[in-house]
Structure 1
Amino acid sequence: MTGLLASGGAALAQSDTSILRVTPGSDVNTFDPTGPAGTAAYIHGMMVYDALYGQDEELRIHPQMVERDEVSSDSLTWTITLREGLAFHDGSPVTTADVIASLRRWMGLDVVGRTMALDVEAMEPVDARTFRIRLKRAFPVRAALANSGSGLPVILREREASAGPFTRGTELIGSGPFRFVANEFRPGDRLVYERFDGYRPRVEPPSGFAGGKVVRIPRLEFHILPDASTKAAALQAGEIDFIDQVPFDQAEAMQGRRGITVAALSRIYNPFFMRPNSLYPPFNNADARRALALAIHQPDYMAVSFVRPEWGQPCHSFFVCGSPNGITTGSEPYRQQNLAEARRLLERSGYRGEPIVLLNSRETLFVGVAGELAAQNLREAGFNIVLAESDWGTLMARRNSRNPPDRGGFNLFITSISGSGVYSPLSNSIADTTCGARNFAGWACDEEAARLRDEYIHEPDEAKQREILERLSRRLWDVMPTVILGQRAQLYAWRNNISGFVRSPSLITIFWNIEKR
């Protein structure tokens, strides 16, 4: 492959060390990072916008845009003051009007935001830098406003936050460390970001999304490339500097190549799972969902999907093995494959051989090979599996359809999700069983698990919280809203003249602090 950057224009006239060229895991499917989106959209969001609080690489929470917060003795009133000198990319100051409008928008779009909204009595400005949140009952405000595992509670200008859905005409004006260069955007080809010299980093060392976000390379270019082999060739040719989200087979091929590093940039693994559609038979019945879990053997999925043992781990926790909440209570019956018991439960569920639509895509290779293995396992357990193969974008669109499986919907899909969101019941979308079909695709509904989640979120005593977590874990393994297949590392590849990476607590790659020699 040659000539990737031949149309780079002004960018090519700059010193090569002033440009970081990245190929993302996928195209940016939306520029709105506050609601459901792909990882590339969240990377964009963390670059262009900033947040009130941030998680460090150990999932601890720190103030980011916030200078100080004060909490009343009854924990119902939070008074939050912004740092001085915060400015948007157009030079206008960040004010509490922008913050309140942004949080209201996020509360209508994200699972964590909607949970917080239930407990918010009012949000009101005190002055341009200070605002107040009044709660109906105590709520973990800092944890919610530091969320990086789903829709991001980043701060937009009031005009965009109040204008409804993003359109092609929406200005992408944030206050983050990078500025989006709109006039160089070529859809499906290139996105360009420049260092925002008006950004005032915190003075602390960077860690995850906390601390000082110092941009050391003036210009960053995202080049959308069509497939993994093209990306690998471009990296080896020196046409790009960094591959975001390297497929595991390509990682194996590039491992040990001269001048290239392949590694993970987070210690938190990411859950890998199969999600049943609880709206329609047979998976509106818990016995059929339990049969799914008994039909699989996690080590088999690790072997076919992740190539090397260190890149995938069996895990029987709804809250990420290795995280502070990685308990396995209730998983005991499901740690080994048991096809005979799976068949018995499937028959008890009332299933009579109807087609089961399993969405699959080899465009995301580890999902594709896991889908093929799942089809084999589930047929052995008595399911009549129909593999619906497509590109990844089509799979993502179809999995959000609430139509019946034979009318464009689905019964099952396999995917992965960021461990930074899953470790806590507050932000764990795959364990959220809130009824009403407003939760994560699959729309699990169990009032008892939802009650325990709510009890956990609102319990201030850590020892009591742990007891609730144990009961919640046991209940989730009983009702099985999600079938855990294991957990995986997220791999990246870069040329060895790149250094200074900040370890991320999530799937969102961090591009501040990086240097290029």
Structure 2
Amino acid sequence: MKFSRRIIGLASAVGVACAVTAGTASAQEDKITVRSIPIGNLKVLDPIWTTAYITRNHAYMVWDTLFATDADGAIQPQMVDSWETSDDGLTWTFTLRDGLKWHDGAPVTAEDCVASIKRWGARDGMGQTLMDFTDSVEAVDDKTFKLVLNEPVGFVLDAFGKIDSNVPFMMPKRIAETDPNEQIEEIIGSGPFRFVADEWVPGSEVVYEKFEDYVPRDEPPSLAAGGKVVHIDRVESVYMPDAGVAMAALGSGEVDLHESPPTELLPMVEGNPDVTLAPNDPLGYQLFMVINHLNPPFDNKAARQALQWGTKQSDYMATIVGNPDRWQECGAMYGCGTSSESHAGEEPVLTLDVERAKTLLEEAGYDGSPIILMDPADNSTLHPAALVAAQSLRRIGLTVEVQAMDWSTLTQRRASKASVGEGGWNVFVTNSTIAGISNPLIHSFAKNCDKAWYGWPCEEKVPDLIRNWALESNSDTRAELVDQIQELNYQNVTYIPLGQYRPVVAYRKEIQDVIPSPSLFYWGLKKSTD
């Protein structure tokens, strides 16, 4: 099942009205179909190549994982049936469960998993760290593979079962052998839904159908773990760039579910007895500003510190969330409410000092050149956050050029290390689930310098501290290391946290048993047809 990149060009040719009605053809009338509004426009289909949440959500439909995180934060087996560890803690042996098939009918093999682990380990921060501790990963037989470490570490299952980007999804060997720096061109998984490639219209609609040969686990569903029992036949994910049109479609029943309803438009459905608003994640999200450390003026630490002192978290939170019961100021790099919560070095993150920021810009020699701020205009959370960022930057004396684009374009452009004059960028605002940043190993900025995430910060002392944290078992010592890591990152201004908030999901009364999760799962979910 290969797709052609030529169909990207169809996006502008298909209107929203077509997207709303296309899936109602008589051929589909006898199927239980859920029509949903996704968090954004799906352009990139490879969840290893990008950390974009729209791609992560797509991937959970199509692919499966060796292990998964349950609602209590514990790691549970998913594709794996059993595993054992040698007495010295160096050799981990995993056996796959019976009945695993790819969507093309081929059996899932250990070699597929080995290739998938290697590709993920080349891209993901936690995966890279695991590979640093790995001597080899190889198949033993069709259903068994082993991981041999060079030092015993306790986060192997945490790495394989991480819930957030980049999730180590298993792919067929021929696909997983794609260069990690190139996007895959074939979408074949073993997950509970299959991607219907010939119905994908970028910029309009993505379709998934139940994979009839999927064998779920026996356990009840719990966050990303447990049995992925599918009670519906088809999901039609309809992209509507106009937020008002999207909310109206939910209110009228044209769609069943909205994965990320914008806060300012919630009043459109809050009084509607046919619509439920429910929290999708108890810890929520961290909003943060990504800074390009390669391009002037923010290749200068003083200029980055100016951004820090010029930031006021409540400006962002009041704008994108509003309701004070659903947000908080938080200076913890790894999130408030997590085991790695720290307050070390947080003063400049939580304190607005405009005059100090202006002085730092002068020290940095800022010459008035425009700051390129990328604005994902179709994202109901990040677009207003980008506008707040523009105001904040101007407040401290920066000249700002806001460049609007859709979120999918931003997720591709952010990979560019080009200068501003050659299409590069300076800053953008994004977010992460707290689950996805809750400790030094899984945070977006777990890696540094040439291996760093977008923005490419470089603080050479941090990697050794993170390695020590990974090897340490004493919780008090780990806390001390977290303090040091956070303080160094804030001194270097690796990035800027902008607050912590808890969004909601909205769905019609016909929808039941939605699993609370930062990534909306369509297994377990039911739709009444009465």
Fold shared per TM-score above 0.5:
yes
1:119 corresponds to 2:130? no
- Contact 2:50/2:411 (8 A) holds in 1: no
> Which of the residues 493, 501, 522 maps onto 1:511?
522
Residue aligning to 1:5: 21
Match of 1:243 among 247, 250, 258: 258
CA distance in 2, matches of 1:300, 1:229: 23
Identify if the C-alpha distance between structure 1 residues 333 and 110 changes in structure 2 by more than 3 Å, giving closer, same or farther: closer
CA–CA distance in 2 between the matches of 1:189 and 1:2? 10
d(CA) in 2 for partners of 1:236, 1:354: 46
Counterpart of 2:307 in structure 1 is 292
1:421 aligns with 2:432: no
Alpha-carbon spacing, 1:118–1:11, altered in 2? closer, same or farther (3 Å): farther
2:506 corresponding residue in structure 1:
493
The corresponding residue for 2:97 is: 83
User: Which letter maps to 2:521?
Assistant: I
Instruction: Give the C-alpha shift of residue 367 in structure 1.
Output: 2.6
Partners of 2:358 and 2:183 in 1: how far apart? 47
Cα distance between partner residues in 2 of 1:481 and 1:68: 40
- Aligned: 1:147 with 2:158: no
Aligned equivalents of 1:158 and 1:361: distance in 2?
35
The alpha-carbon distance between structure 1 residues 19 and 488, as it changes in their structure 2 partners (threshold 3 A), is: same
Preserved contact between residue 241 and residue 494 of structure 1 (Cα < 8 Å)? yes
Q: What aligned pairs does 1:356-395 form with structure 2 within 5 A after superposition?
A: 356-395=371-410
Question: Could you tell me which residue of structure 2 aligns to residue 103 of structure 1?
Answer: 117
Matched, 1:72 2:86: yes
The answer on whether the counterparts of 1:194 and 1:218 sit within 8 Å (CA) in structure 2 is yes
Give me the whole-angstrom Cα distance separating, in 2, the residues matched to 1:330 and 1:187.
Answer: 44
Q: Secondary structure at the match of 1:5?
A: helix
Instruction: Tell me if 1:218 matches 2:229.
Output: no
What is the distance in 2 between the residues matched to 1:288 and 1:451? 26
Uncovered stretches (5+) of structure 2, i.e. residues with no partner: 1-15
Q: Where does residue 12 of structure 2 map in the other structure?
A: none
Match of 2:70 among 48, 56, 71: 56
Q: Measure, in 1, the Cα distance between the counterparts of 2:447 and 2:22.
A: 50
Deviates more, 1:91-100 or 1:3-12: 3-12
CA contact 2:330–2:350 (8 Å) conserved in 1:
no
- Per mean C-alpha deviation after superposition, the further-off stretch among 419-428 and 35-44 is 35-44
What is the CA–CA distance in structure 1 between the aligned matches of 2:137 and 2:447, rounded to whole Å?
A: 28
Cα deviation, residue 277, structure 1? 1.0
Shift of 1:404: 1.3
Indicate how the Cα distance of structure 1 residues 450 and 408 shifts in structure 2: closer, same or farther if over 3 A, else same.
same
Contact 1:359 1:413 (8 Å CA) reproduced: yes
Q: In 1, distance between residues paired with 2:405 and 2:200?
A: 28
Structure 1 residue 163: deviation in Å? 4.3
Change (3 A) 1:199 1:62: same
**What does the per-residue CA deviation read over 1:222-272, in whole Å, with 9 as the maximum and x for residues that have no partner?**
223332222222222222111122122222432222211123211121111
Cα drift, residue 52 of structure 1: 0.5
Name structure 1 gaps, 5 residues minimum: none
1:129 aligns with 2:140: no
CA distance in 1, matches of 2:313, 2:521: 30
Q: Are the equivalent residues in 1 in contact too, given 2:349–2:496 (CA < 8 A)? A: no
2:5 is aligned to: none
**Superimposed CA distance per residue, residues 428-486 of structure 1 (whole angstroms, 9 cap, x where no aligned partner):** 11x335111x3221111001122212221232333322221122122222211011111
- One-letter code aligned to 2:144: T
Aligned mate of 1:435, from 437, 449, 455: 449
Q: Secondary structure at the match of 1:413?
A: strand
Matched AA of 1:14: D
Secondary structure of 2:296's match? coil
Aligned partners of 2:40 and 2:407 also within 8 Å: no
Q: How many residues align?
A: 509
For the 8 Å contact 1:433–1:447, the answer to whether it is kept is: no
Q: Give 2:393's aligned amino acid.
A: L
Partner amino acid, structure 2, of 1:351:
Y
Distance 2:60 2:22 in 1: 29
Alignment equivalent of 1:14, drawn from 30, 34, 49:
30
**Cα distance in structure 1, aligned partners of 2:234 and 2:387:** 42
What is the CA-CA distance between 1:161 and the residue it aligns to? Answer: 1.6
Where do residues 169-188 of structure 1 align in structure 2 (5 Å cutoff)? 170=186, 172-188=187-203
Shift of 1:122: 0.8
Name the stretch that deviates more: 398-407 or 476-485: 398-407
Q: 1:194 to 1:116 in 2, by over 3 A?
A: same
Q: Deviations over 1:354-382 (max 9, x none)?
A: 33222224322433333333333333323
Q: Which moved more, 1:358-367 or 1:442-451?
A: 358-367
Q: Provide closer, same or farther for how the CA distance between residues 263 and 74 of structure 1 changes in structure 2, counting only shifts above 3 A.
A: same
Q: 1:482 aligns with which of 495, 509, 516?
A: 495
Superposed counterparts of 1:303-314, under 5 Å = 303-314=318-329
CA displacement at 1:312 relative to structure 2: 2.9
Cα distance change, pair 382–484 in 1 and its aligned pair in 2 (3 A): same
SS of residue matched to 1:203: coil
Counterparts of 1:38 and 1:91, CA distance in 2: 29
Q: Using the TM superposition, name which of 308-317 and 159-168 deviates more.
A: 159-168
Task: Give how far 1:301 is off.
Answer: 1.5
Q: Offset at 1:28? A: 1.9
Q: Decide whether aligned partners of structure 1 residues 191 and 380 sit closer, same or farther in structure 2, where only a CA change above 3 A counts.
A: closer
Which shows bigger deviation, 416-425 or 459-468? 459-468
Please give the alpha-carbon distance, in whole angstroms, between the structure 2 residues aligned to 1:387 and 1:218.
42
Which residue number corresponds to residue 45 of structure 2? Answer: 31
Indicate which of 329, 350, 353 corresponds to 2:365. 350
CA contact 1:456–1:468 (8 Å) conserved in 2 = yes
Residue 57 of structure 2 aligns to which amino acid in structure 1? I
Instruction: Give distance in 1, aligned partners of 2:401 and 2:174.
Output: 47
Check the 8 A contact 2:35/2:235 in 1, yes or no.
yes
- Deviation per CA, 1:106-126, whole angstroms, max 9, x where unpaired? 122323222222222111222
Q: Secondary structure at the match of 1:174?
A: coil
Post-superposition shift, 1:217? 1.4
Secondary structure (helix, strand or coil) at the match of 1:485 reads strand
Q: Is the 8 A contact 1:36 1:110 kept in 2?
A: no
What is the one-letter code of the residue matched to 2:277?
V
Equivalent of 2:515 in 490, 502, 505: 502
Of residues 346, 353, 360 in structure 2, which corresponds to 1:331? 346
Report what 2:281 is aligned to.
266
SS at match of 1:397: helix
Change (3 A) 1:363 1:461: same
Which letter does structure 1 place at the counterpart of 2:452? N
- Give me the whole-angstrom Cα distance separating, in 1, the residues matched to 2:142 and 2:377: 50
